[in-house]
Amino acid sequence: MPATVDALLPLSFLEAVRGIDAPRDDAETEYVAELRNKRLGLSEPIYAQIRRYTQAARRSERTSYAEAVALARLIGRRTDAAAVFVTAGQHLARQAYATLSPVMRRTILLLPSLLARPLALRQARRLSKRFLNARITRIGSSLRLDVPDPVTLDAAPEERGCAYYESVLRELIRLLVGDATSIEHIRCVSRGESVCEWRADWRPLSRRARRTASAA
């Protein structure tokens, strides 16, 4: 079990909660103080935590694995846990992708797929290792993501917490190559297997399609 996670991981949980719990209209804004007490995402300790993780992320510091597990459990108790995990996963993928240099991002977009794909794969591998403590490998025309110690394990009943990792993978593929068709969760720690494993299609798209997708 890893002792630490990148600070962006727990930050993605809190940013998702904050986004989902934000007041939706004027009527709600009026009652924000009252809502604050009811909704986790609006409470002062959460804002303080967000500031702390943001600073840690800026300094590229890692934070405690156990803390991320505790946050995932807190989210797992919500009735909208699945939606929060999906949003948080997208958030992490975008933040991770943003750590690539602009030159690298442009190169991947502009090269023909045959050359762009190995480059994109190398970046995906690096990002998943740093941000997810996970491993990405290529199997024929598909990608395999292995997560030995998901922080979302036991966060929610059955495999609901796994939606987080699946969402990171989907969004990362979308950003790097433009599309991920069919992602399958093949093995799962919550079923007693040694690792959570996903297989994703990693189909090359034309340069134009990739540019359009990454601009979306």
Chain positions contacting Zn ion, by CB under 5 A: 159, 162, 188, 196
Rank residues 123 and 190 by Cβ distance to Zn ion and give the closer one: 190
Rank residues 120 and 169 by Cβ distance to Zn ion and give the closer one: 169
Rank residues 71 and 177 by Cβ distance to Zn ion and give the closer one: 71
Smallest distance, Å, CB 191 to Zn ion?
Answer: 8
In sequence order, what E strands does the chain have?
4-6, 62-64, 135-139, 142-147, 183-187, 196-201
Distances (CA, A) of 28 to 47, 84, 98: 19, 20, 33
Smallest distance, Å, CB 126 to Zn ion?
Answer: 22
Rank residues 173 and 177 by Cβ distance to Zn ion and give the closer one: 173
Smallest distance, Å, CB 2 to Zn ion?
Answer: 17
Smallest distance, Å, CB 194 to Zn ion?
Answer: 11
Smallest distance, Å, CB 5 to Zn ion?
Answer: 17
Q: Which of 83, 97, 193 is nearest to 146 (CA)?
A: 193
Cα(first)–Cα(last) distance of the chain, in Å?
37
Rank residues 159 and 201 by Cβ distance to Zn ion and give the closer one: 159
The answer to whether 126 and 103 have CB atoms below 8 angstroms apart is no
Q: Which of 57, 95, 94 is nearest to 171 (CA)?
A: 94
